[in-house]
Amino acid sequence: MYKNTVFDDFGSLVFNEKLMEERLPRPVYNTWKKTIAKEGTLDRATADAIAHAMKTWALENNTTHFSHWFHPMTSTTAEKHDSFVEPGDSGEPLLRFSGKSLIKGESDASSFPSGGLRATFEARGYTYWDFTSPAFIRDRVLYIPTVFVSYNGESLDKKAPLLKSIEAISTASTRVVNLLGDKDVKYCTPVVGLEQEYFLIDKSFYEKRLDLLLTGRTLFGACAPKGQELEDHYFGNIPSRVNSFMNDVNIDLWKLGIYAKAEHNEAAPAQFEIAPIFSNANIAIDQNQLIMDILKKTAEKHNLACLLHEKPFSKINGSGKHNNYSIITNDGQNLYSPGDKPSENIRFLLFMCAFIKAVDTYPELLRMASSSAGNDHRLGSSEAPPAIISIYLGSYIETVLYNIYKSDKNIESHIDKNFNPIHGLSYIPHDNADRNRTSPIAFTGNKFEFRMLGSSLSASLVNTVLNSSIAEALNEIADSLEGIKYINDVRDKALSLCQEIISNHKRIIFSGDGYSKEWIKEAKRRGLPNITSFIESVPSLLDDKSIHLFTSLNIYSEKELRAHEDIFAEQYQKTIELEAKTLIKICKNEILPLMVKELKLYGETYNACNKLAPNYLVETIKKISTFIENINKNLIVLNEQLTLCNQIPYVYEKALKYHNDISPLLCVIRESIDKYEIIASKDIYDIPTYTDMLFKKL
Ligand code: ADP
Ligand code: MG
């Protein structure tokens, strides 16, 4: 109906279902559809036909290469390009892309983190086509989403476990739905909507800050006189330079079939958000990786730098990635939709309870999965959720659940039906829950919003944990319901299961202020874990209950979990080591020489004033001298500590020592630099300040 709009190219760079229907022979298309609907498997001939159609389409769109695209155990994606052109039998060039090349690729895995799953000499890694996520084109390359495994089949990536967990939650949800009488449901899908926060600064500032360039965050920098106290940035008018950046981002995303929907200024100066419409968890996570990459690359084109780090600037809000989660049946029913009368919607109540039980059983895993060295700076900083996991349900749903628990006959709760903010509107949609920004997990009407996840992280692991733990709770529910003959008895039993779960897990429900000091005490009284650093949450992977959860659902083997512990510890340690080395370099090559230069200026003036030098000069000389002494002294300690740390042979112990001994030293050194910056003269101090980066040139 609408022609010649920017949306004409929507999805033009993605090999989606519509294209497959148009371009594949009907039997091939049908086989693919059946495979997606979990009713069949994909054979070689079908793969060959799909590969051929993909190649034709890709070549028509000016591609020269194809690439298996995968998610190694880092936060980015990996790719190796192969061109389509090969010599044919007659020596003439041929353009080839077989079903085999589509399904399987081999690459050298030795330079990816494996946590010892692979000895160095066992270098083979294999990529296998994930046919549930569509292939797409970027910069002349046809990208094929894949999983990445070792020669022995162990996962070396984040996608393979995610896909297994999607399978597990589908099976468990379908069991419960079927047992409650809806036998038409064949499978269920977890769906995810990811809101991505980021900062934008002018590229010229970025390039002058070695800390941003190498570590993604500022390791020093005094607060700007203005912060976010006037609350004038959130949802404010978007600067035109940023608007044109967002426009280019959206156009790229729409071409890739990504429904980029919301965009706005975030709370901190120079901070923004983009949110696409939710889709199945696997695709949403693939798309989020693309969004992060497109944000960064588009920023470069606009002479900007996009910062995805969780806390690029101290003392102002950091960035998160809100993970909105629900489960949908293959016929489109949202299992977290309460309907008009939640109290009578036994299926909704059971799925709520399964969620509550899952979160209360594995809070440590969730905390670990949503974090990293970077996110440690954000969690619990009075702007982001605390490191304590709790769930906010909203008073309406909370009352319904408590009434069930208390066996109250009248379990319905009420939303104010007279709610009418504007005269003359007969239809007024009203949410069944208010917002609680301080809660790490909030029920927001028909989905859960998980707010702990760090902005730079892949959302795979957190969804793998959510899927697995909810699947376990649902399977236990299904086991209890199985074999009951009459549907009324099933409902009675379901209600008593809800009662039992609420009774055992109500400690995780909290609607108060998650940022308050009282909550920390209250959470302790309730026995909720408060793990303040990421590294201390890593061993939760190897808790007996975690090993049981993941191995019984076939998501991770114990060996893979051990490897993950090593990988996370090593990444954590390397992140802090890089920060330490960067700060040392900055101090030696930039900060100390600047201080000396300043001291020289003051010293010369002092001498020139002879005995009449004002106190100000003397005080400033003293101050700068003290800063120099402090920095120098602490750099010596830092170097000694680094040597000691690096003598520790065990990865985890080493990482813990980095946390305990290196990180605090970085803060101590920073203190002197920041104090110096406050009094530094503008002519001498030529490093971009917070004021420059957050308030200028946008
Ligand atoms: P906000 O959290 O700012 O209110 P929205 O309501 O727009 O933002 O939703 C945030 C994200 O949640 C979007 O990506 C949206 O598509 C997604 N979302 C909406 N409904 C669901 C659902 N049922 N399951 C999962 N994600 C959802
Ligand atoms: Mg949100």
pLDDT digits (tens, 9 = 90+) for 550-586: 999 999 999 999 999 999 999 999 999 999 999 999 9
DSSP 295-310: HHHHHHHTTEEEE--S
Using the mean position of ligand 2's atoms as its centre, give its distance from the Cα of residue 196 in Å: 10
Q: Lowest-pLDDT range, 151-155, 543-547, 665-669?
A: 151-155
Q: Which ranges in 379-436 belong to alpha helices (H)?
A: 395-405
Quick one: pLDDT band at residue 427, thresholds 50, 70, 90? low
Tens of pLDDT, residue by residue over 497-551, are 999 999 999 999 998 888 888 888 999 999 999 998 999 999 999 999 999 999 9
Q: Which ranges in 235-384 belong to alpha helices (H)?
A: 240-255, 281-301, 346-361, 363-369
Atom number of ligand 1 nearest to Cα 325: 25
Using the mean position of ligand 1's atoms as its centre, give its distance from the Cα of residue 326 in Å: 10
Say yes or no: CB of residue 277 within 6 Å of ligand 1.
yes
Indicate if the pLDDT at residue 108 is higher than 90: no
Share of the chain above pLDDT 70, in %: 93
Say yes or no: CB of residue 436 within 6 Å of ligand 1.
no
Using the mean position of ligand 2's atoms as its centre, give its distance from the Cα of residue 42 in Å: 38
Tens of pLDDT, residue by residue over 158-195, are 999 999 999 999 999 999 999 999 999 999 999 999 99
Atom number of ligand 1 nearest to Cα 259: 16
Q: What is the pLDDT of residue 119?
A: 58
- When pLDDT is averaged across residues 118-130 and rounded to a whole number, the result is 75
Q: CA-CA distance, 145 to 132, in Å (whole number)?
A: 9
Q: What is the pLDDT of residue 40?
A: 86
Specify the 3-state DSSP secondary structure of 347: helix
Tens of pLDDT, residue by residue over 619-635, are 999 999 999 999 999 99
**Which residue of 173, 447, 449 sits with most ligand 1 atoms within 8 Å of its CB, as the best mutation to test the pocket?**
447
> Is 571-695 in the same CATH topology as 6-157?
no
- DSSP label of 63: -
Say yes or no: CB of residue 326 within 6 Å of ligand 1.
yes
Specify the 3-state DSSP secondary structure of 483: coil
Say which CATH topology domain 166-223+236-414+434-556 has. Answer: Creatine Kinase; Chain A, domain 2 (3.30.590)
- When pLDDT is averaged across residues 670-676 and rounded to a whole number, the result is 97
- From the CA of 450, the nearest ligand is 2
Using the mean position of ligand 2's atoms as its centre, give its distance from the Cα of residue 555 in Å: 29
Strand partners, 83: 65
Specify the 3-state DSSP secondary structure of 199: strand
Distance of CA 16 to the CA centre of its chain: 25
Say yes or no: CB of residue 196 within 6 Å of ligand 1.
no
Indicate if the pLDDT at residue 682 is higher than 80: yes
Using the mean position of ligand 2's atoms as its centre, give its distance from the Cα of residue 376 in Å: 20
Quick one: pLDDT band at residue 402, thresholds 50, 70, 90? confident
| Residues in the chain, overall count | 698
Q: Which tokens go with 615?
A: 């106190």
Q: What is the pLDDT of residue 433?
A: 59
Atom number of ligand 1 nearest to Cα 446: 23
Q: What is the pLDDT of residue 129?
A: 93
Q: CA-CA distance, 310 to 371, in Å (whole number)?
A: 10
Q: CA-CA distance, 224 to 668, in Å (whole number)?
A: 20
Atom number of ligand 1 nearest to Cα 334: 23
Q: What is the pLDDT of residue 37?
A: 84
Indicate if the pLDDT at residue 423 is higher than 60: no
Domain spans of the chain, in order of start: 6-157, 166-223+236-414+434-556, 571-695
Q: Lowest-pLDDT range, 265-269, 327-331, 461-465?
A: 265-269
Q: What is the pLDDT of residue 426?
A: 52
> Contact at 8 Å (CB) between 291 and 196?
yes
Atom number of ligand 1 nearest to Cα 435: 4
Say yes or no: CB of residue 130 within 6 Å of ligand 1.
no
Say yes or no: CB of residue 275 within 6 Å of ligand 1.
yes
Query: Chain-wide mean pLDDT for the chain?
Result: 91
Higher pLDDT residue, 87 or 414?
Answer: 87
Distance of CA 501 to the CA centre of its chain: 29
Domain 6-157 sits in CATH at 3.10.20.70
Say yes or no: CB of residue 193 within 6 Å of ligand 1.
yes
Higher pLDDT residue, 516 or 87?
Answer: 87
pTM for the whole structure: 0.94
Q: CA-CA distance, 643 to 694, in Å (whole number)?
A: 36
Q: CA-CA distance, 17 to 20, in Å (whole number)?
A: 5
Q: What is the pLDDT of residue 21?
A: 96
**Which residue of 323, 324, 392, 449 sits with most ligand 1 atoms within 8 Å of its CB, as the best mutation to test the pocket?**
324
**Which residue of 278, 325, 348, 441 sits with most ligand 1 atoms within 8 Å of its CB, as the best mutation to test the pocket?**
278
Indicate if the pLDDT at residue 370 is higher than 90: yes
Q: CA-CA distance, 679 to 685, in Å (whole number)?
A: 10
Ligand 1 atom 13: the closest Cα is on which residue?
193
Q: Which of these, 357, 336, 333, 327, lies nearest to 480 by C-alpha position?
A: 357
Higher pLDDT residue, 277 or 439?
Answer: 277
Quick one: pLDDT band at residue 435, thresholds 50, 70, 90? low
Say yes or no: CB of residue 446 within 6 Å of ligand 1.
yes
Count of CB atoms situated within 10 Å of the CB of 430: 11
Indicate if the pLDDT at residue 410 is higher than 70: no
- When pLDDT is averaged across residues 87-113 and rounded to a whole number, the result is 87
Alpha-carbon dihedral 358, 362, 363, 364, rounded to 10 degrees:
-160
Q: What is the pLDDT of residue 325?
A: 98
Q: What is the pLDDT of residue 381?
A: 66
- When pLDDT is averaged across residues 582-596 and rounded to a whole number, the result is 98
**What is the separation, in whole angstroms, between the first and last Cα of the chain?**
38
Say yes or no: CB of residue 157 within 6 Å of ligand 1.
no
> Containing H/E element for 595?
helix 592-609
Domain 571-695 sits in CATH at 1.20.120.1560
Share of the chain above pLDDT 90, in %: 75
Tens of pLDDT, residue by residue over 232-253, are 777 778 888 999 999 999 999 9
Q: What is the pLDDT of residue 107?
A: 78
Using the mean position of ligand 1's atoms as its centre, give its distance from the Cα of residue 259 in Å: 12
Q: What is the pLDDT of residue 3?
A: 81
